[in-house]
Structure 1
Amino acid sequence: MVSVVLPCFNAAPTLAEAIDSIRAQTWKDWELIVLDDGSSDNSVRIAEAIAASEPRVRVVRSEHVGIVKALQRACGDARGDYIARMDADDLAAPTRLAKQTALMNREPHVALSGTLIEMYGAPIGQGRRRYEKWINGLLSHEDIVRELFIECPLPHPTFMMRREAFDTIGGYQDHGWPEDYDLCMRIFCAGARFAKVPEMLLKWRERPQRLSMTDPRYSDASFRALKRHYLFRSYLKGRPSFHQWGAGEVGKRWLREWTDPSPAAVVDINPRKVGSTIHGIPVIAPQDLPPPGESYVVIAVGARGARDEIRAWLNPRGHKELDHYLFIA
């Protein structure tokens, strides 16, 4: 069985449509746990009215505890071998659960799968469209891991998790940063695998009030804190030294926030910066980087096209992505 967990808070305008998209699934062996997180609107009454005629829908009332505790409780009530996520303002395609379940059954080493998404709703700017293209372009485990430290490469509302793996890593946890990204990082550090169904199986509603747009836990600073935490538990673990590439706008934010250890130096292509220090860290030219394997390189550059340019510089000089360098922005 697939347990679909759907926490909601004041979601009355969209909740029924989201629930109906689960009821319309071609995969019939599911339960939907709607956890109302202390809504002050009609959300709980809408959910309970649907549950009255649909035994697979369970409604759990809660005082307002926030997204992480709501997810913890809903997942704790789940009875399925798989746990899938759903948001109260999104729409699942009718074959979503069937196709993700087939993938998980076919690939027993996959702990977490997702799907492609289509953004809709409020006007969507070029930046969000680029993000949609980026996240939909990461399909294989290798693609996802390669870009894991850039951003969360699987959209949270598309998650389907193997219950055993979910429990093994400790489920959702609250560290003051994005709970979905944190879960992905712990799955990665545990050595488990990711996958993605290469089809658009979720319509992801854009709206200014979306939690990921308003809550401090999803701020840029919170993302960087999460990445630093897991860098020192993965690629930088046990490294005697590391370098940062990038002293522009994005790179300076990273340089300001490193504590101990911090980069031995920061690489930048601007000759006016080379030889100076930024937040106490010396700036060097690319050609002054140590040889491959001597010092790991984390790359914090936000300019469009910069990743390909940096790969084109590093790879011919013997640097191998993930083994010797990693993009973190």
Structure 2
Amino acid sequence: MISVLMPVRNAAATLPAALHSLFCQTHPDFEIVLLDDGSDDGGATRGVIAAAAGCDSRVRPFFLPHRGIAATLAHGLGLCRGPYVARHDADDTCRADRLEKQAAYLENHPDIGLVSCLAAFGGDPERAAGYKNHLDWANSLTTPEAIALERFRESPLPHPTVMFRAGLVREHGGYADGPFPEDYELWLRWMEAGVRMAKVPEPLVTWNDPPDRLSRTDPRYDPARFHAVKAGYLARHLERTNPFHPVIEVLGAGRVTRRRAERLCDHGVVIGGWWDIDPRKVGKVVGGRPVRHRDELPPAGSRFLVSYVASRGAAQEIAAFVAARGYVPGRDYLPAA
């Protein structure tokens, strides 16, 4: 019923615990599609995989040349035999009822195409405060509406927490290999196609944070790549939902904000102006557009706002500010950073 899709590379130290957490699942009907992406650790990872396959027939090992995670995942999707596909990483573990609860959710909610869950943080919350803050934010998004609304800020779904219907791959395509985070691009593409996504509101997965995690070492996970890939999806969303299309106005006027927002212009969006609170910027013309003080923002209904202010706590403060002026998320403004 469930195909657990797990790519690994040089993971001999963490793979045993990841596999053990799967062997302990309360849902009995699953396979583990275990893909070795050309490990070069002297046969250590290959040995762990071979031992696991030898003691549990649910493990289906595949030893591939090194091509990277996106290509490995795309290959693995073609090997999955179940109607449900669950992602799992070699450095993460899951609760014994993870597969049971996520499969039950999909069975009971036919309108949902993908279900995630909450995740416990398995790293050092002080040394990795940025990752911990991101996970806290992702854990706050559990409903299809919240996930869809917030998807242009960051990826709302930690990759190893998801289970999805295999039919989505046939309908909308699977993982694409390009200069972008393959999971985030997939969520954006599927949500653009109308796929609804939700979460089981329980911490069914422990999301560990090793120093060699791809999101730390692979340039495809650089923040600039996130903004580059989402610009096209956000622009098309604005074309469908912005009553003033192609014109938007942007909350924030800092250099980073402007650089990120101006990516939309490559997709036909026109930025009419900036709104900020910095007295050094207010009243000036930056990039050919006026900077106005945020307190002068007129009531809702006269413009569409996109917020690109990314400082910690800014999203909540801005949401409260625009709400006080009658702006409704999704109708009058969108958070994008």
Q: Which position in structure 1 is the counterpart of 2:320? A: 312
Q: Which position in structure 2 is the counterpart of 1:18? A: 18
Is 2:261–2:308's contact at 8 Å kept on the other side of the alignment?
A: no
Q: Does 1:193 align with 2:196?
A: yes
State the Cα RMSD in Å. 1.9
Q: Which position in structure 1 is the counterpart of 2:30? A: 30
Per-residue CA shift, 1:217-242, capped at 9, x if unaligned? 10010011122111112124471211
Q: Which position in structure 2 is the counterpart of 1:49? A: 51
Q: Does 1:295 align with 2:298?
A: no
Which secondary structure state, in structure 2, belongs to the residue aligned with residue 33 of structure 1?
strand
Q: Does 1:173 align with 2:184?
A: no
Q: Which position in structure 1 is the counterpart of 2:330? A: 322
Per-residue CA shift, 1:215-271, capped at 9, x if unaligned? 111001001112211111212447121111112354133256454434111111123
1-structure distance, mates of 2:288, 2:221: 28
Q: Which position in structure 2 is the counterpart of 1:282? A: 290
- Higher mean alpha-carbon deviation, 182-191 vs 298-307, is at 298-307
Shift of 1:139: 1.2
The percent of aligned pairs where both chains have the same amino acid is 42
Q: Which position in structure 1 is the counterpart of 2:247? A: 241
2-structure distance, mates of 1:175, 1:242: 29
Q: Does 1:60 align with 2:62?
A: yes
Q: TM-score, length-normalised on structure 2? A: 0.92
Gaps of 5+ in 2: none
Which secondary structure state, in structure 1, belongs to the residue aligned with residue 40 of structure 2?
coil
How does 1:1-329 map onto structure 2 within 5 Å? Answer: 1-41=1-41, 42-121=44-123, 124-237=127-240, 239-248=245-254, 250-255=256-261, 257-260=263-266, 261-286=269-294, 289=297, 292-329=300-337
1-structure distance, mates of 2:128, 2:73: 30
Per-residue CA shift, 1:81-126, capped at 9, x if unaligned? 0010000111011100000001110101111111111121456433
2-structure distance, mates of 1:251, 1:165: 34
Shift of 1:285: 2.3
Is 2:36–2:64's contact at 8 Å kept on the other side of the alignment?
A: yes
Which secondary structure state, in structure 2, belongs to the residue aligned with residue 97 of structure 1?
helix
- Higher mean alpha-carbon deviation, 57-66 vs 301-310, is at 301-310
Which secondary structure state, in structure 2, belongs to the residue aligned with residue 298 of structure 1?
strand
Is 1:256–1:279's contact at 8 Å kept on the other side of the alignment?
A: no
Shift of 1:288: 5.3
Which secondary structure state, in structure 2, belongs to the residue aligned with residue 304 of structure 1?
coil
- Higher mean alpha-carbon deviation, 243-252 vs 81-90, is at 243-252
Query: How many aligned positions are there?
Result: 329
Q: TM-score, length-normalised on structure 1? A: 0.94
2-structure distance, mates of 1:165, 1:294: 38
- Higher mean alpha-carbon deviation, 58-67 vs 292-301, is at 292-301
Per-residue CA shift, 1:40-90, capped at 9, x if unaligned? 122122112211221110011110010111000111100000010000111
- Taking a change above 3 Å as real, the CA distance of residues 243 and 35 of structure 1, as seen in their structure-2 partners, is same
Shift of 1:166: 2.9
- Higher mean alpha-carbon deviation, 165-174 vs 245-254, is at 245-254
1-structure distance, mates of 2:74, 2:201: 29
Shift of 1:183: 1.0
Per-residue CA shift, 1:158-180, capped at 9, x if unaligned? 11011112321101112311111
Shift of 1:291: 5.7
Is 1:2–1:84's contact at 8 Å kept on the other side of the alignment?
A: yes
Is 1:3–1:32's contact at 8 Å kept on the other side of the alignment?
A: yes
Gaps of 5+ in 1: none
Is 1:244–1:299's contact at 8 Å kept on the other side of the alignment?
A: yes
Which secondary structure state, in structure 2, belongs to the residue aligned with residue 52 of structure 1?
helix
Which secondary structure state, in structure 2, belongs to the residue aligned with residue 319 of structure 1?
coil
Is 1:255–1:278's contact at 8 Å kept on the other side of the alignment?
A: no
1-structure distance, mates of 2:319, 2:302: 18
- Higher mean alpha-carbon deviation, 211-220 vs 136-145, is at 136-145
1-structure distance, mates of 2:133, 2:261: 26
- Higher mean alpha-carbon deviation, 245-254 vs 148-157, is at 245-254
Is 1:114–1:195's contact at 8 Å kept on the other side of the alignment?
A: yes
